[in-house]
Structure 1
Amino acid sequence: MSTSYVRRIAAPLFAGSLAFGILATPAEAAPVAWTAAWGASPQLPSTGFTPNWSQEGFSHQSVRQVVRVTKGGNLARIRLSNAYGTSPLRITGAAIARTTQGAAVAQGSVRHLTFNGERSGWIPAHGELRSDTAELSLKRLESVTVTLYFAGTTGPATFHSQGWADTYRAEGDHRADTNGTAYTSTSQSWYYLSGIEVGDAERRRPAGKARNQTEDTGEGDGIAVFGDSITDGFGSTPNTDRRYSDALAERTGRPVVNQGIGGNLVLNDSAWFGERATARFRRDVLDQPGISTVVILEGVNDIGFSEAAEGPNPPATYKPAPVVSSRELIAGYRTLIGAAHDKGLEVVGATLLPLKGSDHWGPHAARVSNEVNDWIRHAGEFDAYVAFDRALADPSDPDRLDNAYAYAYKDALHPNDAGYRVMANEVAQVLGK
C-alpha cells in the first residue's frame, strides 16, 4: 500500500443519510430510494480518441452496452440523454439484462423497459428520459447490459467518447437476443445511455400510488468522481473496470458514479471534450440521486492546453487554449464548491497529478499547478483534500509521474491500472474507509 498523503481539513460536515426531494410522511409506505449506480457524462457527437458511431448515428439497428453497477438492488431504471440532439429522438425499444460474456446476456434475465407505460418513447431535443421501473435483481459490482433499438434514423448521437469497454451494434431488432451473435460491430464509446439507477423493492411506492409514480428520496452515501481524462480512466485496461472510480467502489463499498470527460476543461467549452465543468456540474453531479460526496479532479487541461499549443504539431482538439492563471482556475473551483454545498454535498478537492514530461508541461503549467495545489491544500475551502501530486510522484523527481504508476512514459500524464488503484486508496482514506 502506498504512503498516505491525504488530509481532512475538517470533520465530515454531513453525518448520516442526505435527503433530497420529497420524503414520504410516517403514515405512508416509504418510496423507492433510488441511487445512481453507474453514470457517463454526455458529449457532443465528435471524432473522439478512437473510432465511434456518434456522428453517423443509428438506423434500423440495435446497440448493446455493457456497464458495471456499483450498488445492488432489485429494481432498476435507465437514464437516456439527447443533450446534443437537435430534434426529438425516438427510442423504439429498450431492454436491460444481466451480462454473461461479450454481447451475450443471461437466459431469463431480459427485461423490456417501458417509458411512461409504453415500450417506446421520445426524448426531446436537448432533453433526457428515464425509463419506468424494471424488476431485476442486481448484485453490487455486477455487469449489466442495456440494449437500445432504433427503428428509424437517429442522426448524430449524444454519446460518451471514452468508455474503455466494448459496445456492440447489430442490424435490426435484437433486444431479446441472449447469445449476442448478431452483434458483429464494436466501438468503445457509450451512446445515449447516461445512467443506471438502482432501487430496493422493500422501499417501494406509497400505498395507492402506481408503479411509476414513486418519488425519489435521493437518500444515500454515493460518491461522484468529477473531472477529465484521468477520472474518465484514460490508460486503464479496456473491458476490465480498472478506472479509479471502479477501484474506489471496490475499496469503499459505496456507490460510485464516474462523471469524467477526457480533455474536459473547468473554464471553457470544447467541441471535442464537452461543456466546461462549471456548466455541466448540475446535470452530471447535482442531479444524480443518492450522492452525498463529490471528488473534484480537474484543471490540468486548462493550464496545459496552452503549453501543448506551443509545440511543433499541436493537436487541433486542444482548442480553446487560453493562458489560464491560478486565480481564474480557483474561481472555477469556488463555483463548483458553492454549487455542491448548496445541494448539501461534501466536496473533496484533489491536487493535480505530476505532469512533467507530458505535452501539457512547461514553465506556465509548472507554476500554476504548484499554485493551485498549494491552494487546495491550505485554503480550507474544500471539506477535505487528497494529495494525488504527492502520492503518485516519482521519488527522485516530484514533478514527474512515477513510472510505476504511469500509463506510458512518453505520455507522462495518465496513470496505469496500478496508479488508479493508488488514487482510489488515497480517496478511500480521506473518506475514512
Structure 2
Amino acid sequence: MTRNSPEREVVILMTDMVGYSQVSSGMTPEEIRDFLIDYHGRIHHIIHREECIPFEIEPSAGDGCLVIFDKRPGEDRAGICSRALATALRMAEAIADGSLAPTRMGILLGPITEAQLGTRMAKFGASFAVANRLEELCGHFGTDLLMDREVARHQKGFEKYLVTIAKISLTSVQHPMNVFTLYKPGIQNCPVHVDEAGLLKFIRMKNDAMEFFSGNLMLGIEPDFPRVREELLLTQKYFRELTGREDAGTERILEYIRETPFPADDFDQQGMKLMEKKRDSLGERLFHLSKELLRAMNPAFYHALVVDTEWERYFKLEWCKKGATIIKIDSVPDGIYYLDSGTALAFNGEGELLATMTAGAIFGEMAYFGKAQKRTATVTAKTDVVLRRISTEDFKKLPVIIEIFERIARARQREIAENLQHPSDMAVSSV
C-alpha cells in the first residue's frame, strides 16, 4: 500500500435504504440485482447535477451509498456544506413523492485521506464511521436525515429550517455530537401544504426548548428538564395541530426525560448517552423468570404489569425543590407518588420523623384505603426530588392497579400497627 493523497476536508453523505432486508427477503438474486440497480440509478439521477459537482459516489453492492463532496476551487465550508444538504433535500423530496425508496441519510463534515489499495484508491478516516452512526440514528429520531453541527452551522439559505435534535454520546464514537435535521413542507413528516409560517414557529419553539435540554455553557444555560418537558409538550401539541401528526424527534426527547428525569453529572459535556445494546444473558434469564413467577402467582397482576402497561403513562413526572411540601397531613389526597430520585421525609402531626424515603419509595396510597380518606402524614423534599404521580382521577380508572396499591397500603398498615406495639423496633423506611 502506498500513500498517494494528503488529508483533505470533505462532506460525507452516507445513505441506507429503510427496510431493505424485509423487502428483499422474498426476492431471487436476479430480482435483488435489478431492484438495487434501479435504486442506485435513481440516486445517481438525483445527484448528477451541475450544482453538486465535484463529488464522488463510492460503488456499493448493497443498499447503501456513500457520496463524498469535495470543495470547488476557492469554495469555503458554507459552500460545500450547503451543496451536500441541497442534495440530501432532493433525495428527501424524492422519498416523499415516492420516486425513491425510504432512505436514511447522515451528513458529516470531516477529514479523509486516500491510498492505493490494489488496483483502486481506498479512502480512510474516522469520519466515515461517524457519518454511518448519524445515518443509523435517523431511525431512532424518526427523521430522513441527520447532520452534525459543522454542517448545520455552515448553511446558506437553509438556516431557518434547521432543527436541533439533541446532543448525544455513543459508545462507538469518542466525542459527543450535536445533531440537527431540517424541516420543510413536503418532507420530514411535514405535509406538502403545511402552513410555512406555522412550521417556522414550530421550529423556533423546538429549538428554544432544546437549548435548555443540552444546555449552553457559553451562554450560562444549564440543562433544565422540567422546563424542557413543559415546552416540548406544548411544541408537540402545536405540531399535532399544525400537521395532524406526531413529531417523532420531540417524542424521543420526552421519552428520554421520562426515563432519565434528572441530568447526569456529566450531562453538560456528554448530553444523551445512547448506548449500543449488549446482550446480558443473566439479566435476560432473570427477567424472563420473574415474569413467569408473577404470571403463576397472579395472572391479573402479570397482565397489568407486563402485558398491558398502559397504566405507566398515567404516572406524570414532577420535580420538587429541596424543602418543598409534597403532601400535607389531613389534606384530601391528590394522587399516589413514586420517588424517582432524591430523598423525602415523612412527619406526623407533631412534626416527628416517621420515615426517610429514597429512590424507589412509594407513598400517598394510605389515604385512599383508610376510613378518613385523608393524608396521614406530611411529606417534604429533603433534597431536590423527581417524582412520578398518578392522579386520583387516573388511579380510579385502573382496577388492577387499585388492587396492587391496596395490598401495599394494607401491608403498611400492618407494619405500622406492629411498630406501635414494639416502638424500639420502629423502622424509618416506610410511611
Fold conserved between structures, TM > 0.5: no
Specify the structure having the higher radius of gyration (Cα): 2
TM-score scaled by structure 2?
Answer: 0.30
Higher relative contact order structure (alpha carbons within 8 Å, sequence separation ≥ 6) = 1
